[in-house]
Amino acid sequence: MNIISGIFLTITVFTGLFLAQSAVGIHPLKSIQKVILSIVIATIVFEALQFLTGRELNSGIVSILLLPGLVWFVRMPFLQAVFTILLGWTYQIAIVYVLQRNLFELAIMQAKLEADSFIIFMMELFILMNNLLIILFVVRLKPILLPAEVFRKTETTDKPKLVHHTTLLASAVLLIVMGIFFQYTYNERQFFTPAYRLFLTGWSLLLLAILVVYLKTSLRQKLAQEKFYLDQQYQQDMLSFFTVIRSQRHDFTFHLTSIYGLLKKNEYDEASSYIGQVVQQVQDVNELLPLAHPAMSALLNTQGELAKQKGIEIHYSIFDDLRGIPVSVYDVNKILGNLIQNAMEELELLPAIERKLHVEITKEKRHYVIRIRNRTTADHQRIMSMFQSGFSTKSSHEGIGLAGVEKIVTANFGVIFPELSEEWLTIHVRIPEDTENY
């Protein structure tokens, strides 16, 4: 077993995966120890296969060996792990072999030097230094090529998600074809003239640049389309919410006039009752105003109106405006909308007197916390089944169910868990305010 070559291969593969993780929207430092361990094991297996077969095998086998480790050990989503492997392999073939090794060999040929052990070691050291610089670049800039949202599965079949999957499939095919071309170019380099090798190197880099631009622009355009659809979805809620606010301001003068008339007639009980009704209407809206984004307030207002129609008493306790939460407003609304909708569907099965729902939004120990609390007749087994993929809900906001909510929460390094106590069910969601160290 060639220990030196194994070490250099490990570093090269690690650099490719480190860059690829950032490219697919994963913080590369999140699971760096598990990734390194997986690479070391895969490299040892690869070197052992070379030793047993007595042949020099293609280093791309290491990438194939890594896939199970990334999925089951590092716990990456399968599709995201596949693209991590493909992008890492592309980096290894295109940048390390076709560009760096190929040009270094051409420089040796041009200088008419003999490729002895010292020259080969210097080439590997040169590549190693480049890899370290790339790692520092990734740590500093965190480049993202494919945002993590494109890999997130939902239980719906809406158009934007279908387009994502189609684009990802086309991108995977392009990466594989491109990688095969790069591999062939490098393997057959000794049969080409130096000038033609330079041409192939430049052409390969041009193709790689075109592929990167395609991946970045196509999927980002699809994400922009999806957000446009979500904007349309929440537009009606926001218009309804602002209509309520405008209506309250418009009616304020009439309320003052009515109260003044009752007080002039010394009808204090009627005035007190009237003021109580006005205050209750104002409080229903005011308790939603602390939220930083109007789309969140609009969704909660719509859910509150829906709850009243179903005879459900809903109460909001908002102690934090979610201004700094590291989650998009669209995902926050998916979390809130689905959790509240599931709670209301559960409450519809109960007598009217027991239809009570509490929504709390707060911040505790550097975590943003959402709690949805409602009465329930469900047992522990049924509650846990709610988090399984395929559990049916009738949510009007995305309809992704608790399994989909869990994916959003865990993708942002948070946790979601149920708590059952004396026929009260509480769903806790905790998302850290700073994901840099995750």
The tens digit of pLDDT for each residue in 150-160 reads 776 544 444 44
Least confident of 26-40, 129-143, 218-232, 332-346: 218-232
Q: Is a pLDDT exceeding 60 seen at residue 195?
A: yes
Q: Is a pLDDT exceeding 80 seen at residue 225?
A: no
Q: Is a pLDDT exceeding 80 seen at residue 340?
A: yes
CB 212 within 8 A of CB 94: no
Does residue 229 sit within a domain? no
Domain range for 428: 290-438
pLDDT classification of 286: cutoffs 50, 70, 90? low
Mean local confidence (pLDDT), 40-54: 87
Does residue 252 sit within a domain? no
Does residue 256 sit within a domain? no
Domain count, the chain: 2
Left, alpha or beta for 143 (phi > 0: left; psi -120 to 50: alpha)?
beta
Judge if 294 and 146 occupy the same domain. no
Q: Is a pLDDT exceeding 90 seen at residue 223?
A: no
Does residue 281 sit within a domain? no
Judge if 101 and 7 occupy the same domain. yes
Domain end marker among 188, 208, 224: 224
Q: What would you measure as the largest C-alpha separation in the chain, in angstroms?
A: 110
Domain end marker among 205, 224, 243: 224
How far apart CA 216 and CA 31 sit, in angstroms, is: 24
Q: Is a pLDDT exceeding 80 seen at residue 404?
A: no
Does residue 200 sit within a domain? yes
How far apart CA 436 and CA 27 sit, in angstroms, is: 8
How far apart CA 197 and CA 394 sit, in angstroms, is: 60
Does residue 232 sit within a domain? no
Output 317 or 242, whichever has higher pLDDT: 317
What pLDDT is stored for residue 155 in this prediction? 46
> Who's near 385: CB < 8 A, 6+ residues apart?
391
pLDDT classification of 117: cutoffs 50, 70, 90? confident
Mean local confidence (pLDDT), 163-171: 73
Q: Is a pLDDT exceeding 50 seen at residue 1?
A: no
What pLDDT is stored for residue 237 in this prediction? 57
Output 45 or 57, whichever has higher pLDDT: 45
Does residue 297 sit within a domain? yes
Output 73 or 244, whichever has higher pLDDT: 73
What pLDDT is stored for residue 269 in this prediction? 80
Q: Is a pLDDT exceeding 90 seen at residue 372?
A: yes
Judge if 29 and 174 occupy the same domain. yes
Judge if 79 and 213 occupy the same domain. yes
What pTM was computed for the model?
A: 0.59
Output 332 or 260, whichever has higher pLDDT: 332
What pLDDT is stored for residue 399 in this prediction? 46
What pLDDT is stored for residue 388 in this prediction? 59
Q: Is a pLDDT exceeding 60 seen at residue 396?
A: no
Domain end marker among 224, 257, 278: 224
Judge if 295 and 202 occupy the same domain. no
Residues 180-191 pLDDT 10s: 888 888 888 888
Judge if 305 and 218 occupy the same domain. no
What pLDDT is stored for residue 156 in this prediction? 44
Does residue 10 sit within a domain? yes
Provide the percentage of residues in the chain whose pLDDT is more than 90: 8
SS3 254: helix
Nearest CA-CA partner of 300 in 315, 322, 280: 315
Mean local confidence (pLDDT), 215-233: 64
Judge if 19 and 98 occupy the same domain. yes
DSSP H stretches of helix in 99-143: 102-110, 117-141
Least confident of 5-19, 195-209, 265-279: 265-279
pLDDT classification of 162: cutoffs 50, 70, 90? very low
> Who's near 305: CB < 8 A, 6+ residues apart?
240
Q: Is a pLDDT exceeding 80 seen at residue 146?
A: no
- HSE at residue 41, side-chain half, CA atoms within 13 A, is 14
pLDDT classification of 282: cutoffs 50, 70, 90? low
279, with CB counted inside 10 A (0-12, 13-18, 19+), is exposed
Provide the percentage of residues in the chain whose pLDDT is more than 70: 79
Judge if 317 and 419 occupy the same domain. yes
Supply the Cα-derived Rg of the chain in whole angstroms: 29
Judge if 297 and 207 occupy the same domain. no
How far apart CA 75 and CA 341 sit, in angstroms, is: 30
Judge if 354 and 216 occupy the same domain. no
Q: 379: domain CATH number?
A: 3.30.565.10
Mean local confidence (pLDDT), 14-18: 90
What pLDDT is stored for residue 393 in this prediction? 42
What does the mean pLDDT of the chain come to? 79
Judge if 167 and 297 occupy the same domain. no
What pLDDT is stored for residue 395 in this prediction? 41
Q: Is a pLDDT exceeding 80 seen at residue 259?
A: no
What pLDDT is stored for residue 394 in this prediction? 46
How far apart CA 392 and CA 375 sit, in angstroms, is: 19
How far is CA 244 from each of CA 201, 232, 290, 312, 331, rounded to the nearest angstrom?
A: 64, 19, 16, 20, 25
The token pair at 307 is: 């709850």
Judge if 299 and 196 occupy the same domain. no
